[in-house]
Amino acid sequence: MCGIVGYVGKQNAKAILVEGLHRLEYRGYDSAGVAFVRAGRLSVYKAQGKVAQMEALLPGRIGAQIGIGHTRWATHGAPSDVNAHPHTDTQGRVAVIHNGIIENAVALREELIASGIELVSETDTEILAHMIAAADQGNLMDALRKTLMRIHGAYGLAVISQDHPDQIVVARNGSPVVLGIGEKEMFVASDVAALVRHTQKVVYLDDGEIATLKRDGYEVVRLDASPATKTTATVDIDLEAFDKETYAHFTLKEIHDQPEVIERVLRGRCDHRFATARLDGLNLDPKAVLSIRRVKVLGCGSAYIAGSIGARMIESLARIPCDAESAAEFRYRNPIIERDTLYLAVSQSGETFDTLAAVEEIKRKGGTVLGVVNAVGSSIARACSGGVYLHAGAEVAVVSTKTFSATLIVFALIALLLGRTRDVSHAEGERLLKALHELPDLLRGELKREEEFAALAKRYSHFDHAYFIGRNAGYDLATEGALKLKEISYIHAEAYPASELKHGPLALISPTTPTVAIVPDDGLIAKNTATIEEIRSRQGPVLAITQVDDLDKTAQKDGGPLEILKVP
């Protein structure tokens, strides 16, 4: 995932950009680069590999007080020094960094080549540098605005020019851009992680907005050149969240953060008097809740998976039809928006482009959409008419850990609130609240088994493929497990409903394809056990994660190996 950082002010831009790029490394990338303007000259340094490899190319002293930096995850063009950002025009006057994808890049590229311009990279970003340079008639913001009028696609952009040595021009459409306001200095980034050590005062750009940053302030306009009024927000982030402390990496740290996160999510939201949840941000009074006939949950990636589990909770407790759908698919199928349907948009960052587009589509058609978001003041949070913040804190690791858990807790609270209004008894509400409050200590107990889990992972680390299975909510957890294995280890993994395994995928089971089976104590133990035995009959190794004490008692003796991981 690409990252942007920029600075204009009175400090050493080199130090700020390099630090900011290191802060964005957690997002994953394959190359890095920076560009500076000093003494009227533009200079660019970039390299395939880690930020440290690019940093090694930098002169000891640059002295620039303006610059932009980028970490790239390859989309157009393979990872290479040439394809790394920033990109410049033929004369090296303009430098551009870009997150996103230009959908009409092929046509624009052909047009530039026909005009005699020689393109040196395979990227869609380089075309922007040539177009901006050609459109610059003394106003860099206007040159960018005219260029963007011809662009189709998603972008977060930052541009500097040796002809405008006192300014950075940035733009957003579907890819986050946040401005940081300092004392006689301005910052820009794609993620507040790159800003928080310098300022907590930020301005979030909205889609279709362009901003010019100078050391003494900023100006924002829309694509039609009309001025846009922005409000400054204060980012309330614990700087310790960006320090992995004694942990080997941020993923491990954030796994260990989960008990405290769950306690924070629950704090002030449990109404023990009425055995329900208090979620004032939803703006739903009892009459409004009773008018809901259907609930639709939308998200992408782990947010979608958490939403799928949340949908099961809502349907089970509130007895309202509820389902989850990928926001990326929802926005492309001309969905029917119903007035008595409650739409819930789920996003950790609050900037997920496909989810935001789905929110806007629902609003355009008159629907009611609420957010379940972690990032306060983010685009999705601002676009929704209400919602619930996760309060999980900054999640630095690429994979969702504590925000996934926090999202599940929030959905449990939403389901309880809806259920207590409609169908759930006071006694059942009390039981659910008690169970939620017990979760942090249960998690702390499981985290003490870290060495056991590490040894288990080592035993399975030589496999190149894995399957995850489960039923109902167990299937959703299996899907998240497969996604995590792919994201973290780059091992091929697939998830299937346990009931679907015999309808084709079972043919792929072998001694070299282990299966992780999610087996909760939910009344489907016999069916899950039968599926496990089908896998073992084909000599497939099985790791069963289960709440059941005697799962292995019926296990066949001559099948594939069965390993039991007992959890609370």
The CB-side HSE value for 427 (13 A sphere, CA atoms) comes to: 0
Q: Note the Cα 260 to chain centre separation in Å.
A: 21
Q: Is the CB of residue 54 less than 8 Å from the CB of residue 32?
A: yes
The CB-side HSE value for 364 (13 A sphere, CA atoms) comes to: 10
Q: Note the Cα 519 to chain centre separation in Å.
A: 28
Identify residue 294 by its one-letter amino acid code: R
In this structure, how many other beta carbons lie within 10 angstroms of the beta carbon of residue 411?
24
Percent of the chain with pLDDT over 70: 98
The rounded distance, in Å, linking the Cα atoms of 340 and 227 is 37
pLDDT digits (tens, 9 = 90+) for 47-80: 999 999 999 999 988 889 999 999 998 887 888 9
The rounded distance, in Å, linking the Cα atoms of 565 and 547 is 9
DSSP state of 19: H
The rounded distance, in Å, linking the Cα atoms of 467 and 464 is 11
Q: Is the CB of residue 468 less than 8 Å from the CB of residue 516?
A: yes
Query: Which range, of 218-222, 322-326, 351-355, 369-373, averages the lowest pLDDT?
Result: 351-355
What's this model's pTM, rounded to 2 decimal places?
Answer: 0.86
Residue 237 has pLDDT above 70, yes or no: no
The rounded distance, in Å, linking the Cα atoms of 407 and 348 is 9
Tokens of 411: 């959905």
pLDDT digits (tens, 9 = 90+) for 261-299: 999 999 999 999 999 999 999 999 999 999 999 999 999
pLDDT digits (tens, 9 = 90+) for 183-231: 999 999 998 888 888 998 999 999 999 999 999 999 999 999 999 999 8
Q: Is the CB of residue 527 less than 8 Å from the CB of residue 499?
A: yes
DSSP state of 532: H
Angle, CA 497 vertex, CA 491 and CA 501 arms, to 5°:
80
Kindly provide the residue ranges of all beta strands, DSSP E only, lying in 205-249, ordered along the sequence.
Answer: 209-214, 217-222, 233-234
User: What's the pLDDT score for residue 238?
Assistant: 66
